[in-house]
Structure formats: structure tokens, C-alpha cells
Amino acid sequence: MATMKEFRNNVKPNWCPGCGDFSIQAAIQRAAANVGLEPENLAVISGIGCSGRISGYINCYGLHGIHGRSLPIAQGVKMANRELTVIAAGGDGDGFAIGMGHTVHAIRRNMNITYIVMDNQIYGLTKGQTSPRSATGFVTKSTPAGSIEASISPVELALSVGATFVAQSFSSDLKGLTELIEKGIQHEGFSLINVFSPCVTYNKVNTYDWFKENIVPVDTIEGYDPHDRVKAMSASMQHKGLITGLIYQNTEQKPYEALVNGFKEQGLANQDIRLSEEDFAKLVAEFA
């Protein structure tokens, strides 16, 4: 069985020192090893932004896609080879701005992949502009007078479109984040894991200390039940979207792949896709 070290490669991350994304990378590597994966069993698909680099820092199959398009690529990979464990990764701009349409439909489609959003509430790669996760009044280069738009809540968004697995974590909580990624991988369906990942260079508001003071673990909420969608939505709204842990899970709804008639368990890479002479003759006869 592979160890965490086997999911490492020789590519050194060039994130800013102190960036929360380092912990997310480590959590993915630990989780992959803990659930018994080998590097050849895992594919990490990323988009654009600081977070997009993560697919090149893990020893597995990987693809660095284009802005907002990690999810359609990841779903295509899963459909082509459902034997692979597929993780999509991106930032809050990648997933909740240009990629928002893909995010919503991937959630409701419920394909068996895990989507990790590295949420720093700002555009880091392009030097500090407001993102869909920035709070109202947030001052950046693109909103010098403060943002006049409302911030998106990933938890409430996911619950509203029928998510079967919703979790949220903080990059400083490596143990808790690793456990959530393990659960996300093992969940039969689409798993959304939003991770608060402070940008130490451009976001001087949502800092490590700020999150430590404001996040509320769901296991500290009396009577919390992660299988109750209404309670999950209520808790998120009550605590301004800052709850962490396994927020909601529905184990009864089948994943997309299980509902597609005739969809083989065996991946295309391991199937004999050669046409027999008989099948070839039938195809020719249809068009002749």
C-alpha cells in the first residue's frame, strides 16, 4: 500500500510562504494514502489560479486545465475511467465565478468525484482583486471603495442544489481536513469540500487569526445532525457560513454513473474496444 511519500514528486511548490494551499496539498496526499490508493489510482484535475498548480505537485495523474473548467474535465475523466479516484481542485474564483455554472450542475449531477475548493476570498494569482467570496465592503484593487456585492456561501449554495456531501474545513486543521477528504473520496457521489485557505500576501482581513476566532465546528453545535439538510442550512445561515466539519451527507442517493444504463464498471482503458468483423459489417450496412 502506498505511503504519503509516494504521492510526492520533485516539483517544489511556488506558493507564497505561509499560504494555506501547502496544507491542502499535504492533506490530499495523506488522505490518498490513508484510503489505500496507489498513485496510478488517482487523478487530480485543477483549474487556473494559485490553486491550479496543485495538480503538478502530487505524484499521480494530473491535468492543469483552464479557468473554471476543472469540473467538466474531471467528470470526463471519471466517465472515461470510473476505476480512477478523481479529485478536482480550484480556488473560489475558479469555482464560484467563471466556473459557477459547472459547479452547480456538477453538484446536482452527483458524479462520484471530490471537489476541493481552496477558498482565500480573493484573487491571489492576479494580485489581489475581489472574488465572489469577498465580503460586502471588502477593499481591494478592483473595489477601492469597498465591494457592493454580497458574498456567496458555498455551503448554502451546495445544499440548495441538492448536494449529497458538503464539508468545510480550515487549512490549519490538517488532521480534520485529511479526515474530511478521506470521507469525500469514500462517499458514493459528488463531494464538495470548501477549505478556508488564507492568502497571506493580498488578504489582510481573512487571516489565520481571523478564521480561528470566527469559525464554528459543527461538532460544537448542540444536537447537530449532518444527515439533516434543513438543520445544515440553518446552521450555516446562523453562523454566516463559517461552520466547519462534515456539514451534510446523503448516502441514499445513487451517483450519476450508477444510473447510466449499460455503463460498464471497467474503465475504457481496460476494455477491449476493438470491433468484431460482424459488428463492423453491421455498421457498414447501416450506412451503405
Helix (H, G, I), strand (E, B) or coil at 57: coil
CB neighbour list of residue 124: distance below 8 Å, 6 or more residues apart: 49, 50, 91, 199, 201, 202, 203
165-170, strands of its sheet edge to edge = 61-64, 42-46, 85-91, 114-119, 191-196, 165-170, 243-249, 216-217
What's CA 71's distance to the chain center, in Å?
Answer: 9
Contact assessment for residue 120 and residue 20, using Cβ atoms and an 8 Å cutoff: yes
Half-sphere exposure of 31 (CA within 13 A, CB side): 26
The CATH number of 4-287 is 3.40.50.970
Helix (H, G, I), strand (E, B) or coil at 79: helix
Residue 128 DSSP code: S
> pLDDT value at position 272?
85
CB neighbour list of residue 265: distance below 8 Å, 6 or more residues apart: 82, 83
> pLDDT value at position 254?
96
Query: Which residue ranges in the chain fall short of pLDDT 50?
Result: none
CA distance 198 to 150: 20
For the chain, how long is the longest CA-to-CA vector? 72
pLDDT digits (tens, 9 = 90+) for 141-186: 999 999 999 999 999 999 999 999 999 999 999 999 999 999 999 9
Contact assessment for residue 140 and residue 134, using Cβ atoms and an 8 Å cutoff: yes
**Closest to 58 measured CA to CA, from 27, 80, 81:** 27
| Residues 150-164 as b or e (16 or more Cβ within 10 Å = b) | ebbbbbebbbeeebb
Whole-structure pTM value: 0.94
> pLDDT value at position 269?
78
